[in-house]
Structure 1
Amino acid sequence: MAKDMSSRTNEEPLCPICIETLKIPRTLTCSHTFCQHCLSKYIQESDCSLVDKPSFNCPVCCRPTYPPAAESKQPKEWASLFPQKTALLVLLGEDKAKVDFFCDPCSSEEHSVIAMGFCVECREYLCEICINAHKRIKIAKGHRILTIDEISKSPDIILNLNVSSSCTIHTDKEIEYFCKDHKTVCCVKCSIIDHRSCSELVDLKTNDKSALEEDPRDVIEMLRRIEEFLMNHIQTNKNNIKRLETQTNEIVSTMKNAREQVNKLFNVIENYVEEKGRQLYKEESIKLNDLNQECQSQLTAVQGSRQLLDAILRLGNETHVFLTARQIKTQLTNYREQIVKKYRAIESKETTLTLHDSLKTLMSLAADQLATVQTKIKVDTLSWDGIFRTPTLDSVVALKGHSTGFTPSYRGSVWLPNGSILLSDYMNDKCCLYSPEYTHLADYTLLNPWDTCFVGEDEVAVTLRSAKKIQFLTCTAPITPTRILTTRYYCDGIAALSEDKLVISGYNDSGNQNYYWSILTTQGKEEYYHEIDQKGGKFTYLAVNESKTRLYMSCYGINTVYCFGLDGQLHFIYKSEKLMRPMGIGVARDNYVYVTGLESNNIHQLLPDGNLIQIITIGIPESPWTLTFDKSGNRFLLTNVSGMCHKCHIYVLK
């Protein structure tokens, strides 16, 4: 069993498998480090006959790992083939004089040659021959090579500069650009294939990093909050185990006192109760200890990310800081998802004893009828404050056009890339364009316009629900129409998959009034049609994630949110008695899904897999309707129906 965490310092490196201080640490190619004994035992229990050559999955990140020179070795010997990070050995208190630094290129050829230096860019230990060869290579002439003395004096240099700059998609290419449109880093191949139409790609090789807009301190603070949450979870579980042990001992003591009054008969009952109680304690404490080990592994990963980013801020250059912050930022979603799935609440279990109230029938009753030992579950929900982003009301904007008529009824909204806003006013048959400062710019008359989406350039698409049409508009002052498409059925929601492809939703009028969604080209060709066997005949809205791989659909009439792949695969269905009449739906930059409840007066915040994070009610206006995110994914516009008026609210995600 792992030692008490209070006996360790926060900086002491732990093995993710045994949750103990690292012993003979071995580091895999994915940079995760384990005790040699724990790693060896894990490898031997794994299926090592994966893919084209012997390998195993990393216990932490599950990445396929190929041991160096493993073809001639048995799996039980693999662990010893992985390198020992010198900086870790020094950090663990190993005698520097006993630490050997081996040349990585030579070791890959199964030669053990003492290293004389370390290349920061290549992240390799080098012997004297390899250093000279390294300096003769044109592409490596500018690389920084640290001496062994420099490494020994400051062992955390190697740990903190171990930042991967390889593209996650094209692993043979280095990261060269940051796409501000998609908020992601990419290589030259990605820039040509996936980002050719993006408005701004920042070259990471330039000296000007001001355009990156990345603050690693935000990531550190989020990691700190998750770390604190996990530590609280671990401590609460430990207290739960102690309480279970105390209660079990009290039950045994109670039974012994009762035994004195009923002599031999209670010998049987006492044996049963003690055995059952100890059995329950053993089963439940094992479960809780297993859960704590999982939680501790998550904590170790979070602490490692925080320590790495702290060190990069002190010792790395700006590119290292940016790349590390980006990499760790992508891990935050995994950390948060693990918290939602595994650590939503703690089952506080109590062991109780029930004695039969009639002693006249003792002789005819079995021991388990006379006394019952069982676990009573009490759920304590932990606070997630500060871990997940909650929108705060930035301003309430009363957007008014210059036209007269009915009170505006905004059924659709879209945030254009330049910060302008287009609203569809269903009651007044108008599309209204507003500047980033919320001043009225132009109107365009359309019969019963419904939902809207941005297509490309200055063009938007507007669904004309009852007319079964989609109108395209150029959103400049004045607004001008471009083309119009006809749909098979009533169309409500609309979203853009690309500049030439749309997805729409609604319900059919073929007699069953089932909900549907379909993919159309901007020329009107239907490429895919998917019908949901649920009669509703009421409003729908759509949203797609940033990678355009998942479609989220709210169905007002059946109080349901669906998530589909573009091939029609159903990923999840979300229903809740606290979500009444779902309407507007949007996806933030971290891929969290937000759904408005028109009649429940709230917004449900979901993980990409449909797990509920929280229900937001504070600051949400009465009867929220449409919801649309701006280009950054950090701000959304919310319309609502209150009495006879329709208002717009701007929310910022903190």
Structure 2
Amino acid sequence: MAVSGKKASKQFSSSTTSMASDEDLQIYCQPCDEEGPRLPAHGYCTDCKEHLCHTCFTAHKINRLSKHHTLKDATNMPKVLQQPSTSIHTGQSNVLTTSCLKHPQEILKFYCNDHTEFLCSVCVTLEHQVTSCKVNYIPDSSGDIIDSKEYQVILNAVNTTSEKFQQMVEDVKNMIYKSNSSLKDAFVDIKKFRQEINQRLDELERQAEDAAKVIEQDNKKHLKAVEEICEDITKSLKISADKIKQLNTSKQANKLFMELKLAEKTIQNVEGKAQQLLSYDIKEHNFQSNDVILNLFKKKKSLGTLKSFNKKRQPIQIKSRQSSHEGQFRVKTSKDEYNCNITGMTLLAPDLLIITDHYNNAIKMVDTSSKSVFDQLQLDAGPLDITRVTSTELAVILPNIQTIQFISISSNKLVKKHAVKVDVDCQGISCYQDKLVVSFLNPAKLQILDMNGTILTTIDGNNIFRSLGDVISNRSSIYVSDLGMKTVTRLNWQGDVIGSYSGMSYPRGMSLSDDGNVFVCDYDRNVVEEISGDCSTGNVVLQDLKGPVAVCWCGETKKLYYSWDSLDNFLYIYKLS
């Protein structure tokens, strides 16, 4: 029996043809012959084309997947092993051989559609009964899978998903490249900031040295005067002494008497002169350091911080702000011929604001702490806009003479430097990392220039702009107020439009907030609106104003300064929270 059983198994596993000898007529259960102990066949399933033992035969009539199959008992079953269905067993490679992870002795033959899991017969019996789960026998379900629609759909999905993840790698590479590039820009900013600090410290050092040199020069002048007076007195007294000696030798008593009295009077006079010379206040000096500067460097742990931001972000929702009016202060000075027309502002420090007075052809340096103008510089024409170049240098646009005038600050004084020419109808000016951006009213365009006035890029209006006003810029963006289109337009430094905020009435001056948002004066609506950096959303932060023209934000004090086109000579201050 053992020998005939082996022959039957061997023939089935190799060619599954009929047995050829009488001694091989014993047929075994084919499912059990594959996975477990060899048991005699008790019946046959014409659908599965398999001989079954008593247990498998009984289970075949109960299992939902096979209870409709046609079964033959031991009397009517084929007496030889049958060739399995071609659709189920196309060759040795199509035989199911994957072991179940839960039951390693069992082979995975079923698939549960409800739980999307492969199952063995034990899994089906214990956890996925046919009464609760939709379970398919894999050979029954796989017959039409070759070149099927499901094959095409899933293969396409696999390829699409694969491409998606390949593209993800490229996208991440690109984003990391941009991140590293932004770090290079940050390194440049760090160096530039350090240079600005050094420049300011050098300037303060020169101021201290200049003060010491003034005292030194005064001392030299006094010493020279003393030396000259004393030398004259010494010569005069020597002449008097020689004459007294001569008269005494020649026995000229009368003349000697008179010369002695003159000498006595001269001595009295020069004694008083000596007291006068010694009364000059000559002091010694030492240097006392500025503790504020010293403590500032001691307290600060770093030059600044690297701020992270996401290039791809959802539209930013502008938070609502509470505003409170903190008063106003007068910026008209005795030098002004007309009422003020403040059209531009820039902040150099929380307490140092620079403003342009268009009608009085002047720029003014304002101490926001004392609310006073402490220096004023007259220009060749009325300035319209102003931008910070460094901590001690400014650039002012003069439309009437098509000029950019550079201004420096030295010893708390505004000083004119060089100037460069630009095209007609220039309106706004902004600076970022040694690049100037200038807006033009008509024809509407933007120009990017270097510090010598060389045009690097021109962005023509065409269908983008109509009539440009103010312009501001940062590392990634250029914002321009379009009076004709009634929008604020956002561009990158290559000149591509990457955002636009509509709904404005007559946008004028702008200022960047510390978190990348933009404050915009809407002249006709009498409001100042804060719009997101991507120009997707906005909120009104100040309303019921009077024709706001220029605006400037101080992130450290959370104060917003604005002027209005009324020639009332005042700047207004609001606190935002």
Question: TM-score, length-normalised on structure 1?
Answer: 0.43
Question: TM-score, length-normalised on structure 2?
Answer: 0.48
Q: Which has the larger radius of gyration?
A: 2
